[in-house]
Amino acid sequence: MSLRFKQLSPCFVGEASPIDLRTVHDRQTLEEIRAGMDQYGVLVFRDQHFSDAEQLDFAQRFDGTLHAKTSTAVLTKNRFGNEALTDISNVNDKGEILAAEDRRRASSVSNRLWHTDASFQDPAGRYSMLSARVVPSVRADTEFADMRAAYDALDEATRASLEGLKVHHTIVYSRHLLGFDFSPEEAAKLPGAVHPLVRTLPGSGRRSLYLASHAASIIDWPLPEGRLLLRDLTEHATQREFTYLHEWRPADFVIWDNRATMHRGRPFDDRNHRREMRRTTTLDLPLPAHQAVNA
């Protein structure tokens, strides 16, 4: 049976019909999910009871090469033993809630800024997949913004002025905005990357802004003017009509296209309420021949 999608917001976001992604191995269903990503930018799957190994396996089966050069990897050892499984949790390796002064917590607070996963790498992130393992009793939402709709809403002159601009993305910059600083040795492992400010999405052919809190400067522009333009575009792109707020349920599994969306975590009382999530992110590389759509 073909997948069915119910749109959850006016611009984007689809909720998939009941399916157990752990059992999906056939090419047709994987292609239907990819087509859904091209259309909606964000897909919500309910009741996905992944183990860590199953999540890693699905992510690779669905979209190829996994991102493992995370900023967290330069701060601490991965408690799962695999850097491709990013720990989006507020607990340590003993399951205890992180102390307020813990460096990992201090760094993760910056996830409350609008951002795009792995934009500070080259190749950058394509799809992120977040599995909700423990959901707190208080709201701990994630907000998404549709960068395709935001681009479409720009006037013609503004769109033309953005063509050809390239932006330096560095997580060192975004963390510094909130007072967190990497050591010189840590920063050396995170040099950043340069990406176009506007990109064409290969699956749909739509144009999209490519922004993030990691976007530090526009190449060959004076620093103040470039940062002001990036700030203004972010304000434009995160207006209410372009956003969706996801309220997490246990065993939710949400996939989003980092080339077409931005997101941010909404604040919650993370010093008193435990939350555990696992993220896998794929790199924007060609799929292996046996996975490629229409290959």
Q: What is the pLDDT of residues 222-276, one digit of tens each?
A: 999 999 999 999 999 999 999 999 999 999 999 999 999 999 999 999 999 999 9
3-state secondary structure the chain: CCCCEEECCCCCCEEECCCCHHHCCCHHHHHHHHHHHHHHCEEEECCCCCCHHHHHHHHHHHHCCECCCCCHHHCCCCCCCCCCCEECCCECCCCCECCCCCHHHHHHHHHHCCECCCCCCCCCEEEEEEEEEECCCCCCCEEEEEHHHHHHCCCHHHHHHHCCCEEEECHHHHHHHCCCCCCHHHHHCCCCEEEECEEECCCCCCEEECCCCCEEEECCCCHHHHHHHHHHHHHHHCCHHHEEEECCCCCCEEEEECCCEEEEECCCCCCCCCCEEEEEEEECCCCCCCCCCCC
Range of weakest confidence among 177-181, 227-231, 264-268, 279-283: 177-181
Percentage of the chain lying above the pLDDT 70 cut: 98
Confidence of residue 143 (pLDDT cuts 50, 70, 90): very high
Of residues 103 and 56, more confidence is placed in 56
User: Does the pLDDT value for residue 169 go beyond 70?
Assistant: yes
8 A C-beta contact, residue 103 and residue 255: no
Confidence of residue 295 (pLDDT cuts 50, 70, 90): very low
Average confidence score pLDDT of the chain = 94
Confidence of residue 1 (pLDDT cuts 50, 70, 90): low
User: Does the pLDDT value for residue 158 go beyond 80?
Assistant: yes
d(CA 221, CA 137): 46
Q: Would you state the pLDDT for residue 292?
A: 63
Cis peptide preceding 10, ω within 30 of 0: no
Q: What is the rounded end-to-end Cα distance, in angstroms, of the chain?
A: 22
- Mean of the pLDDT values across residues 53-60? 98
Q: pLDDT, tens digit, for every residue of 81-94?
A: 899 999 999 999 88
Q: Would you state the pLDDT for residue 40?
A: 98
Tokens of 81: 């033993």
Range of weakest confidence among 20-24, 99-103, 111-115: 99-103
Confidence of residue 290 (pLDDT cuts 50, 70, 90): low
Q: Would you state the pLDDT for residue 78?
A: 87
User: Does the pLDDT value for residue 25 go beyond 70?
Assistant: yes
Range of weakest confidence among 65-69, 71-75, 168-172: 71-75
Was domain 5-282 assigned CATH 3.40.50.2300? no
